[in-house]
Amino acid sequence: MSKKRIFVIHTGGTISMEEDKQSGAVKPAETNPLFSFNHLMDEEAEIVSSAPFHLPSPHITPKEMLALKNLIDGTLAKEPFDGIVITHGTDTLEETAYFLDLTLATDIPVVVTGAMRSSNEIGADGLYNLLSSIRVAACSEAKGKGVLVVLNDEIHSADNVTKTHTSNISTFQSPQYGPVGIITKRKILFHHEPARRQKIPVSAVDKRVALIKAYAGMDSYLLSALKELRYDGVVIEALGQGNLPPEAVSAVKDLIAENIPVVLVSRCFNGIVQDIYGYEGGGKQLKELGAIFSNGLNGQKARLKLLIALGAEQPINLEKLFE
């Protein structure tokens, strides 16, 4: 059987960094250390690689995410590949994975991976994660499952996965639902199918969307300032099932009156938001005021979804989109 062709895109992150043994600082290496293992990758598949940028992931913005999407589309339009692997810093990995999940049209496997330990640390997990990702991208069962995140022998869906630990190598978890598959020495085993996949054609990512977390005693000042600061939308990580302190309600009202969409997610990492409570600031009141309830996404992903939707060429029904 001929080898699968995999397009590997390196974007930076700890997976391509080195620890300075003297200062202990972890920094981007001059040459990506993964390149010295090309022979191991070649054993798994026929690899074509590209390194459009070399950034720690806190430097990645939606502009780089869009550039990645365009690179993938442009490459696939020129030559066929069986799968794509992207190496990325873990801090914002889930955001890039979700952006691509929402916007890429291809159904070939697209896998995003990273590492928690830099390339010259003991127990470095980068090369292992990269080889696992190439195996997943080359696996026909991974087709049509949306963008996948592979680290530490687990396969997660982009819409559910999140970074849960600052340093542990099992940091990527899918709250509530768990991984969609596992990787063993010999096999790639999927046990969940994505129930639905949403696509939004992306045209621009230049709208201004804020993400604000609710807390006990929250008032209206910060939310109201978004209007003066000319934000185009806001996602609020609300309390519990989608409630806010009463003092924050007037700002929600004002923002909606100015046609600035207010999307609610929960600051709980399990469960979904709903219009249940009828007290001042409760979900029922917020829904009646026109707040949009987002179904299960975390704040950073809901923010990207709103950003993409607000930049779309044709107006999108946001309530339906976030259902």
Q: Which is nearer to ligand ASP, 14 or 119 (CB)?
A: 14
Q: Looking at beta carbons, which pairs linking 178-183 to residues 24 or more positions away fall under 8 Å?
A: 179/154, 179/155, 180/145, 180/148, 180/155, 180/156, 181/136, 181/154, 181/155, 182/153, 182/154, 182/155, 183/132, 183/135, 183/136, 183/150, 183/153, 183/154, 183/155
Q: Which is nearer to ligand ASP, 13 or 283 (CB)?
A: 13
93, HSE (Cβ side, Cα atoms, 13 Å): 33
Residues 107 and 145: beta-carbon distance below 8 Å: no
Strand partners, 156: 149
Residues 162 and 175: beta-carbon distance below 8 Å: yes
Q: In angstroms, rounded to a whole number, what is the distance separating the alpha carbons of residues 52 and 252?
A: 40
Q: How far is the CB of 233 from ligand ASP (least distance, A)?
A: 25
Q: How far is the CB of 149 from ligand ASP (least distance, A)?
A: 13
Q: Residues 6, 10, 13, 131: which binds ligand ASP (CB under 6 A)?
A: 13
Q: How far is the CB of 306 from ligand ASP (least distance, A)?
A: 23
Q: Which is nearer to ligand ASP, 151 or 180 (CB)?
A: 151
Is 266 an interacting residue with respect to ligand ASP (CB under 6 A)?
A: no
Q: Which is nearer to ligand ASP, 81 or 172 (CB)?
A: 172
Q: Which is nearer to ligand ASP, 53 or 279 (CB)?
A: 53
14 is a catalytic site residue:
yes
Please count the residues of this chain forming the interface with ligand ASP, following the rule CB under 6 A. 9
Q: In this structure, what is the dihedral angle of CA atoms 148, 29, 65, 258, given to the nearest 10 degrees?
A: 120
Rg of the chain on CA atoms, in Å: 21
Q: Residues 11, 14, 157, 160: which binds ligand ASP (CB under 6 A)?
A: 14
Q: How far is the CB of 124 from ligand ASP (least distance, A)?
A: 11
Q: Which residues contact 61 (CB under 8 A, 6 or more apart)?
A: none
Q: In angstroms, rounded to a whole number, what is the distance separating the alpha carbons of residues 313 and 64?
A: 20
Which amino acid is present at 306?
L
Which structure tokens are listed for 4?
A: 């699968």
Q: Which is nearer to ligand ASP, 165 or 191 (CB)?
A: 165
Q: Residues 56, 62, 233, 296: which binds ligand ASP (CB under 6 A)?
A: 56
Catalytic residue among 11, 14, 90, 113: 14
Residues 65 to 124: which contact ligand ASP by CB under 6 A? 89-91, 114, 116
CA angle 10, 46, 76 (to 5 degrees): 65
Q: How far is the CB of 89 from ligand ASP (least distance, A)?
A: 2
Q: How far is the CB of 58 from ligand ASP (least distance, A)?
A: 6
3-state secondary structure 149-175: EEECCEEEECCCCEECCCCCCCCEECC
Residue nearest to ligand ASP (CB): 89
Q: In angstroms, rounded to a whole number, what is the distance separating the alpha carbons of residues 62 and 207?
A: 10
Residues that bind ligand ASP (CB under 6 A): 13-14, 56-57, 89-91, 114, 116
Q: Which residues are catalytic?
A: 14
